[in-house]
Amino acid sequence: MIIKDKVMKYLQDFGRSLMLPIALLAAVGILFGFTAALSRPQIKEILPFLNGGGVAYGLFLIRTMSIKVFGLIPVLFAISISLGLAKREKEIAALAGFVCYYILMWSAGYMVASDYITFPPSALGNSLGLGGIPEMGAVGGMIAGMLTASIHNKYYNIELPVAIAFFGGKRFVAIAVIIAGAILGQIIPFIWLPVSNAIQVVGIEIASLGLFGTFLYGFLERLLIPTGLHHIINGIFRTTAVGGELNGTVGVWNIFFEYFGKVDINELKKYTRFLAQGKIPYMVFGLPAAALAMYKTAPESKKKGIEALLIAGVLASMTTGITEPLEFTFLFIAPVLFLFHSVMAGISFLLMDLLNVGIGNTQGGLIDLFVYGTLVPGSNWIYPVVVGLAYSVIYFFAFKYYFLTKGITIDGGVDDTVVVSKNKAANADGKLATIIEGLGGNNNIVSVDNCFTRLRLEVKDSNSLDVPLLKSTGAVGVNVISDTQVQIIYGPKVNIIASGIKEYLGH
């Protein structure tokens, strides 16, 4: 495998490994926002029963629990990255990732407390009960996760001499990460101090770009969707000082949930410009209008086949902010439209910043609009709706014009030239067998994983794929990243498909 493929595979796996904690935090964010909104005096005046002891206690409990979960971001990243990057024995890697993070931070704190380095108090924080440690946020978890995965993949099956054979194999991993974490923890303070200063400078520079910085973030976040690398840029802005800093709390995500409900929303708008508000116009309005245009321009013979596909994509985009099922319907047949879509995303972020909107969380669907917009005084939630209505018109006519002038249309994931046997189509195992056949057979599949909407695979030869056959199984699109890296878009049901393939192959 050439270096380029190795780098791309690592970045793909790294981005995918962030999915589990991100999904958890997004869900917890909705709970937090809903309970925080219901606890506001204005809402309690409308709904007096919220003042009741039991109800008020329940709301407080859920809100407090949510905040605690956000405090676990570093260790969640350590565990998920260890698990995601591990090739085998993933559960062992996950446990080792937790141990590595704790030891790494403890060791770093021990060095900071010594006389060997002068660490400013403002650069210190706490995590998992450890105080006086370098304030690394999610980066500390990422480092621990990558270190653990590297050690795990190299030593999980190591054989030791007979006298100490008990400590070989996967048991050796836990021992190795303790030693490696302790050593790296002694070094990290010397590296992190200048790095953290540099990150703060980057954050200040991005903030100084004003509206252009907001546009650039929205544009790149959407443009990177096909590669899956958008998770990395999101993670950097949401959980590190690149996104900003407020009273020692770094990252726009952390800042928003730490201070939402405690301070006026206007004080948080310089941070929410990188959150859900910029997504609402194109997720709730723009993409559904694009779907309507794609349906209207399709030949009558194909409309029935694409109707269910588009409806499912529209519902996912509008409610939860999951856009890939729609985006991948036109990404490969009309890449110019995807570039247009990315530019419009950047403009959407810019306009929400310009109009002084303050809507947090990360998904960008109707749920975020309601919980963090309409229920929050001063959020200016009406502007995403107004801009969104304009976006629906622009998207509809842009997509309609392009599809008609270029004479292209999407399909419903079924190619008429492909014949799938009735026995295969009759049951789940048959569908899995068809997918595996479309991937070039058992021997061509190296590894299988998934994110929210995509089946992510490492194969021996991407040229062995049968794309029409894969589309006959309901795939929205097939994205060949390199000779060995492939993504197949199935939508939210992909986790079931991925689990089925792993079980079918005995992975």
Catalytic residues: 451
Tokens of 56: 């008020």
- Residues 387 and 279 sit within 8 Å (Cβ to Cβ): no
Q: Rounded CA gap, 3 and 503, in Å?
A: 31
d(CA 401, CA 423): 42
Residue 491's SS3 state is coil
Token match 């998992």: residue? Answer: 128
> Can you tell me the distance from the alpha carbon of 121 to that of 46, in angstroms, rounded to the nearest whole number?
45
263: which strand partners?
260
Residues 6+ apart with CB under 8 A from 299: 409
Give the Cα separation of 461 and 450 in Å (integer): 19
Tell me the helix, strand and coil percentages in the chain, rounded to 5.
70, 5, 25
DSSP 453: S
- What is the spatial distance between Cα 141 and Cα 75, in angstroms, rounded to a whole number? 5
Q: Are 365 and 353 in contact (CB under 8 A)?
A: no
Distances (CA, A) of 180 to 155, 176, 188, 371: 13, 6, 12, 44
